Chains A and B, each alone.
Chain A
Amino acid sequence: MTEPGRPGRFLALHLPDLATDRIRRAEPGLPPGLPLATWASLGSRRLLLAVDPVAAAAGLLPGQALADAQAIMPALLLRPADPDGDARALHGLALWARRYTPITATDPPDGLLLDITGCAHLLGGEAALLRDALARLRRLGLAARGAVAGAAATSAALARTRADNPVAVSGIEARVAGPLPLGRALRLPPALAGELSRLGLRQVQDLLDLPRAPLARRFGQAVLDRLDAVAGRHRPPLRPAVPPPELRVVRELPEPIITRAGIDAALDQLLEALCRDLLQAGLGLRRAMLSAWRVDGAVQELVVTTSLPAREPGHLRRLFAGRLERLEPDLGFERMALEAWATEPMAAGIQAGLRVGGRGDEAVAAVALAQLLDRLGQRLQVQRVAPLASHWPEHMVAALAPQAASPAVPAGWAALPQPVLLLRRPALLEAVALLAEEGPPALLCWRGAAHRLLQAEGPLRLEPEWWRARPEVPRRDYYRVELASGTRLWVCRSGAAAAPRWLLHGHLP
């Protein structure tokens, strides 16, 4: 996390044609030479929202009326705008950019901000990192420009206004931002930019030279805030797309790996490294994420959780083992990272004693049980049960996480006659009762055969809990019935009095 005022290095990426590039990516069949634009309805008017470079070169502008644009350029390809999809794509790109640094943020509507403090040397310097990012975006079919500077807003302003992808020195943000055109650098609304331009204020420097108080009165505090951010006087912290992990190990793969054996080997190395870091920090892992970057830019992620802090590579490997098959290498992974997303303090020594086994040591047993429940939980539904004070059968028990402690049993919890096995969904039964509205059934059809009843106890009338049930939930009359074969069932009558339904809800001992 970047504290305000802390010197850092920031990379900004600007994707000017994100909306149209996305359409061309989704529809590879579109002829590349033809102009493309998106449109949206604004009240009763239909306006262009984004235009691609071909259309822009022909003189089309965002905000133009759709009918005018079609008149100017009949060949114009049009697609409805999808701002939500664009925002999702931008968020996806922010996740993709985590290959460079754990702290990446979106800069809506069409920018990304990366805190690359201390990360650039991995790719041979800031300029090389910037070139690498731009080249990869271009391969993904996205036009992009970028810049590196000592403040996030400065780098964003540079990326938006200069075409040469500059890398600026830290500490002179005001001088770097000075010559930039005011409207685009500060992202002012066109009307305000025009007004400033008529006053002779065309560059950022012009505004910096003016006294601040009258500026704030005339144009509002928001303009001043943006000016301060671009000039590096005020550094709002980045809001990362994903909060950064507590620990992270990365492995660059010189050859893309495709085989399971290769993935296993890479995971082993990552686990060894992460567990070493955890040991040094005195921490145990509660949640870990394995990220794999595919050659074509897709990022795949696997998450495992543990019920007790763990830092034994063998145990974590077993947790991942069942899920690695979900990775789809396709053309291969070129980079894998393992991140600790939740950790807890962990004393040394507990795991070391694990291999001893036996029933004596309680701490050892607790760890062994936690590891067992972790392993089962990766593949199956594992839960503890919490008894709740309720009379309605479906509300008597709540599911808990496997590592949670079960609360005390409420008084009189199981006082009612309860079945030992409950049907998840009560099953409809054919039944013959002497009276429709009351009394037990005389004959039951169960598993394809009719059964006489030896005896029946009931009814136990349960009214729905009025404070939480929907009003249409009917009350139930429960009976304990014994079939001639000795089988004992828990059945209930439910529904309207005129046409009651008989349901099998459980098996009695």
Chain B
Amino acid sequence: MPPAGPEVPLDQAAVLAALRSRVARLEGSGRAPQDLGAIPVCEGMGLPGGGLARAAVHDVLAASPGGGAAFCAVLLARARGTILWIACGGEGLLAWPPGLLRFGLAPASLVLVRAERWSDALWAMEEALRCPAVGGALLAASPGRAAGEGRLDLTATRRLQLAAEAGGAFGLLLRPDAGLSGAESRAEPSAAATRWRVGSLPAGAAGGLDEPRWRLELLRAKGGAPGGPWSVTWHAATGRLQLEDAAPAPFREGLARGTAG
């Protein structure tokens, strides 16, 4: 029988996340990102495991289509290897390699797949994740589609998650943000390892439109606590996302919750 103490109602998940983030910070400072296994997002975020896990799928809710696609491109470029960009019908939005190159995604590693039906797109995503030769795969549901078409329910995401675990690929599910509040977005069932929301922030004075600013929010994470929102800036010259130091007060609060648990 364990002794009853004042810290009995212990939030195990929060403690684990804090320990993981501390270990990641101790280890991850001097090492090349690909050796870690996880895909780093941005220094200073203190994500559990040092970043986004490979061999898993991650949800990305894009408040603006361009910002979400660019954020995904950054992550996919860091995943290395052959990248499959699977788009599903709808508005006819094409992944545009000249623009993606600025986010590190080279045309030579890119394979574009286009599906008319959502079920075909899901099938293609599952096949891609299951293939050991694929570095990363992205499934983009076009914005403004009928409700049933772009749906990713628990069954679909679990299938994709299992496929990613089998094949070892890094999967991203890029979806338009339905405009739900944070709590509602968190509650939506999904087997994805993490769920992110990406919004665009007005461009800063320094870089103008060449250095886009985004608002990142980790809505939920398997075995970790949600975090953010963070304000980040993309520097194409260095190929890095820069966390803004002067985060406003509410942002700081979220940051503290995400890192220290």
Contacts and interface: CB of A to CB of B under 8 A. Distances in A.
A379 B117 CA distance: 11
B159 interface: no
Given A369-B133, A454-B202, A509-B66, A418 B168 contact: no
A480 interface: yes
A382 to B, nearest CB: 5
Interface in B66-110: 66-67, 69-70, 73, 82, 91-103, 106-108, 110
Interface string A375-399: 1100111111111000000001101
B107 A420 contact: no
Contact of B94 (A357, A368, A421): A421
A506 interface: yes
Interface residues of A, number: 54
Interface string B42-73: 00000000000000000000011111011001
Interface in A400-436: 402, 405-406, 409, 413-414, 416-425
Given A365-B132, A369-B133, A418-B99, A507 B69 contact: yes
Nearest to B108: A406
A372 interface: yes
Contact of B65 (A365, A396, A507): A507
A424 B96 contact: no
B64 A485 contact: yes
B165 interface: no
A64 interface: no
Contact of A385 (B63, B112, B212, B234): B112
A416 B154 CA distance: 41
Contact of A422 (B94, B133, B134, B199): B94
Interface residues of B, number: 53
B133 to A, nearest CB: 4
A380 B127 contact: no
A488 B200 contact: yes
B127 A372 contact: yes
Contact of A421 (B66, B202, B209, B234): B66
Contacts of B96: 397, 418-422, 506
Contacts of A385: 97, 107, 110, 112
Contact of B144 (A357, A414, A447, A506): A447
B66 A380 contact: no
B66 A358 contact: no
Nearest to A362: B133
A402 B112 CA distance: 9
B99 A487 contact: no
Contacts of B123: 379
Most chain B Cβ neighbours within 10 Å, of A366, A382, A413: A382
Contact of A402 (B67, B111, B210, B212): B111
Given A369-B131, A369-B134, A421 B92 contact: no
Contacts of B82: 369
B133 A418 contact: no
Contacts of B102: 414, 418, 509
Contacts of B115: 379-381
Nearest to B110: A385
B203 interface: yes
Contact of B70 (A375, A413, A420): A420
Contact of B131 (A368, A382, A414, A455): A368
A457 interface: yes
Nearest to A480: B209
22 contacts: A358-B132, A368-B133, A369-B133, A372-B127, A376-B124, A379-B115, A384-B111, A385-B112, A396-B98, A402-B111, A406-B110, A409-B101, A414-B101, A418-B96, A420-B100, A423-B94, A424-B93, A480-B209, A482-B200, A486-B215, A487-B64, A487-B67
Interface of A: 357-359, 365-366, 368-369, 372-373, 375-376, 379-387, 396-397, 399, 402, 405-406, 409, 413-414, 416-425, 447, 454-455, 457, 480, 482, 485-489, 506-509
